[in-house]
Amino acid sequence: MTQITPAIVILGQGSLATARRIQQVYPAAQIHGLAGRVEGADSVYQEFGATLRALYQQATPIIALCAAGIVIRTLAPLLLEKGAEPPVLAVAEDGSAVVPLLGGLGGVNVMARDIAAGLQVAAAITTSGELRFGTCLLNPPSGYALGDLESGKRFVSDLLAGHRVHIEGAAPWLDQAQLPQDPQAQRTIHVGTAERQASADELLIYPRSVAVAVRAETADLAHAVRSALQQAKVAAQSLACLLAADSQMASATLREAALELGVPLRFVAVAADVQSIALAAVPHAQIHLVQNLAIAVAAEPLDIKHVGRPRGRLAVIGLGPGAAELMVPAVKAELARATDVLGYETYVRMAGPFRDDQVQHCTDNREEMQRARHAFRLAAAGRSVIVVSSGDPGVFAMAAAVLEALHESSDPAWHNVDLQILPGVSASLATAAQAGAPLGHDFCVMSLSDNLKPWSIIEKRLDLAAQADLALAFYNPISRARPWQLGRALEIVAQHRTPQTPVVLGRDIGRPGQTLRTITLGTLTADQVDMRTMVLIGSTTTCTFPRASGGEWVYTPRWYGEKPLS
Ligand code: SAH
């Protein structure tokens, strides 16, 4: 499964097709296109140098579709600074060459090979150790950790200079590498979980085969884990995960300790002592009991997918109106980590593309409570679930349905789920922004749908909101099943507003074929509106004036009554 989320940066339209092919290797990656030169990229940037340097400084892996020289010159000022060195690759515009430039220890060669495989070319690998031995000793596969980088670099240059090596301990991936092995050799690669001081001729590699079972009540948990490992003479680098009872799943102490130790947290359905927790998760492990903790040392690196189960996560996300650049970064990150995606088919499609390992559960728009319960069942089983809404999930959308389902449930497994609501740009705000600032003063947001509330309360609220001189934003203004309601709503509003009141109609805002119209209340009729339209009606102070580029600006001033002196 590909977890890396690089940025794909392109300078011209001619690179877009290659960029899309690379995106299939990294579905969560965004294509950044130069403003004015590229149409149809996922996001637009103004200045190449500043953009590339900002990505680099945020440690984002970079795939630049341009000459390697341009990338080198652009990043050169940053290279002497210590700090993160994310993978950086240059790829020829036509996809004919893939050149890893920086980030050897961040896995740039692995990325180069993955991209090259996607483009059906060979990667231009130039790292001698990697070419000679077929593996990067300094960047062991998951399941193993390198003891120390500096002595590792010295060790690899010794081997390149002709020294032979003896491997102690089991590391199957090293046996497949073309290392100059010799049982008599002085230089040793030592593979094991025991803490040890490396001698000058030794490279230490730690298998991640250790799990520590803990209880949330232990004071200063991360420190307790470190000192227990030390007492048991087990290397901290071998720690693969923390284990706990699933009754403590929602504990913030556990979450913080795992974060501090940089390892995942796994749970088992055992409420008893730490020793039983450890054995339940890692059956044949050797157990060391130290203080209140149980250290489980397995014979092989732990495959974390099969150790206990993770705390499930349920994120209710808002996609924004539709355009990718209006989606908040937290939502993009959530989409990349999700295992299951639920929602109305149109929105699930809008949230994609998804990887093959991500399960899509598309349902009809109306089955909201069923969808919410389905999401909790999946999350309670340890999956990372997303429920998709358009706009903001808290505005006439799934967040309230999900909370209602949780409120009605007494299942502790549902309440233990890591529930997150991630906001989005709601249709009223996206429409208002395109028109100017029609909601620039107090306003009232209403859904005109009487599916889940009586029409009488809608009339009452409309009447009072219009009377209070609030600008109005109507969601769900009309549908085939609700043909007359909008007309009646407009009659009520007209009792409190003149026919000249500005009205903004935004249809499919942020989506292909979007339209934005500014008209007046007097000319607004229900047939100009459909269920994909946002209706904004001004207050008595909302006004318009021509824009230089055609059409009009609409805004509601910040003040009310008399204009303040400025
Ligand atoms: N959660 C969504 C609203 C869902 S209700 C949000 O925050 O935007 C659905 C209604 O929202 C539609 O009937 C329409 O009135 C409005 N709407 C949603 N997306 C829209 C878009 N892209 N352009 C215009 N109106 C939209």
Query: Is residue 104 located within the same domain as residue 152?
Result: no
Task: Convert the pLDDT of each residue in 531-560 to its tens digit.
Answer: 999 999 999 999 999 999 999 999 999 999
Query: Is residue 445 located within the same domain as residue 514?
Result: yes
CA distance linking residue 439 with residue 555, whole number of Å: 7
Task: Convert the pLDDT of each residue in 58-111 to its tens digit.
Answer: 889 999 999 999 999 999 988 887 667 899 999 999 999 999 999 877 788 889
Is 201 inside a domain boundary?
Answer: yes
The mean pLDDT of 291-297, rounded to a whole number, is 94
Q: Token pair 């000249």 is at which residue? A: 500
Query: Is residue 167 located within the same domain as residue 82?
Result: no
Residue 545's domain comprises: 431-555
Query: Is residue 293 located within the same domain as residue 320?
Result: no
Task: Convert the pLDDT of each residue in 216-233 to its tens digit.
Answer: 999 999 999 999 999 999
H or E, element range at 418: strand 418-422
Weakest-pLDDT range from 170-179, 225-234, 381-390: 170-179
CA distance linking residue 457 with residue 226, whole number of Å: 61
CA-closest candidate to residue 294, choices 223, 207, 238, 224: 224
Is 406 inside a domain boundary?
Answer: yes
Count up the domains in the chain and report the number. Answer: 5
* Ligand 1 site residues, Cβ closer than 6 angstroms: 321-322, 389-392, 395-397, 426-427, 431, 475-477, 506-511, 531-534
Query: Is residue 88 located within the same domain as residue 62?
Result: yes
Q: How far is the CA of 181 from the centre of ligand 1 (A)?
A: 65
* pLDDT above 50: residue 115: yes
Domain end position, chosen among 266, 288, 306 = 306
Domain end position, chosen among 306, 337, 361 = 306
CB 342 within 8 Å of CB 387: yes
pLDDT value for 251: 95
CB 150 within 8 Å of CB 204: no
Q: How far is the CA of 371 from the centre of ligand 1 (A)?
A: 19
Query: Is residue 81 located within the same domain as residue 11?
Result: yes
Is 138 inside a domain boundary?
Answer: no
Query: Is residue 463 located within the same domain as residue 547?
Result: yes
Structure-token pair, residue 39: 């149409």
CA distance linking residue 348 with residue 362, whole number of Å: 7
Is 470 inside a domain boundary?
Answer: yes
Is 135 inside a domain boundary?
Answer: no
Name the residue of 326, 346, 390 whose CB sits within 8 Å of the most ligand 1 atoms, as the mutation to test its pocket: 390
341, β-bridge pairs: 360, 386
Q: How far is the CA of 493 from the centre of ligand 1 (A)?
A: 21
pLDDT band at 2 (very low <50, low <70, confident <90, very high): very low
Query: Is residue 290 located within the same domain as residue 323?
Result: no
Q: How far is the CA of 72 from the centre of ligand 1 (A)?
A: 45
Q: How far is the CA of 391 from the centre of ligand 1 (A)?
A: 7
Is 564 inside a domain boundary?
Answer: no
Name the residue of 531, 532, 535 whose CB sits within 8 Å of the most ligand 1 atoms, as the mutation to test its pocket: 532
8, β-bridge pairs: 31, 63
Q: How far is the CA of 333 from the centre of ligand 1 (A)?
A: 23
Q: How far is the CA of 389 from the centre of ligand 1 (A)?
A: 10
- Provide DSSP, 131-149: HHHSS-TTSPPTTEEES-H
Helix (H, G, I), strand (E, B) or coil at 47: coil
Give the residue whose CA is nearest to atom 15 of ligand 1. Answer: 475
287, β-bridge pairs: 296
Domain end position, chosen among 158, 191, 207 = 207
Structure-token pair, residue 565: 């002196």
The domain spanning residue 514 has which CATH number? Answer: 3.30.950.10
pLDDT value for 1: 37
Taking CB atoms within 8 Å and a gap of at least 24, the contacts of 488-492 are 488/459, 489/448, 489/458, 489/459, 489/462, 490/521, 490/524, 490/526, 492/459, 492/462, 492/463, 492/466
The domain spanning residue 249 has which CATH number? Answer: 3.30.420
The domain spanning residue 396 has which CATH number? Answer: 3.40.1010.10
The domain spanning residue 45 has which CATH number? Answer: 3.40.50.11220
- CB burial readout 230-259, b (16+ within 10 A) else e: eebebbbbbbbbbbbbbebbbbebbbebbe
Q: How far is the CA of 329 from the centre of ligand 1 (A)?
A: 21
Task: Report the chain's terminal Cα–Cα distance, integer Å.
Answer: 59
Task: Convert the pLDDT of each residue in 340-370 to its tens digit.
Answer: 999 998 899 889 888 888 999 987 767 899 9
Is 132 inside a domain boundary?
Answer: no
CA-closest candidate to residue 508, choices 321, 231, 244, 250: 321
Name the residue of 396, 446, 511 whose CB sits within 8 Å of the most ligand 1 atoms, as the mutation to test its pocket: 396
Query: Is residue 148 located within the same domain as residue 252?
Result: no
Query: Is residue 203 located within the same domain as residue 216?
Result: no
Give the residue whose CA is nearest to atom 17 of ligand 1. Answer: 427
The closest-lying atom of ligand 1 relative to the alpha carbon of residue 531 is 13
CB 471 within 8 Å of CB 442: yes
Query: Is residue 248 located within the same domain as residue 164?
Result: no
> DSSP class of residue 566?
-
The closest-lying atom of ligand 1 relative to the alpha carbon of residue 514 is 23
- Provide DSSP, 310-355: PPPEEEEEE-BSS-GGGS-HHHHHHHHH-SEEEEEHHHHHHH----
Give the residue whose CA is nearest to atom 13 of ligand 1. Answer: 476
Is 76 inside a domain boundary?
Answer: yes
Query: Is residue 200 located within the same domain as residue 238?
Result: no
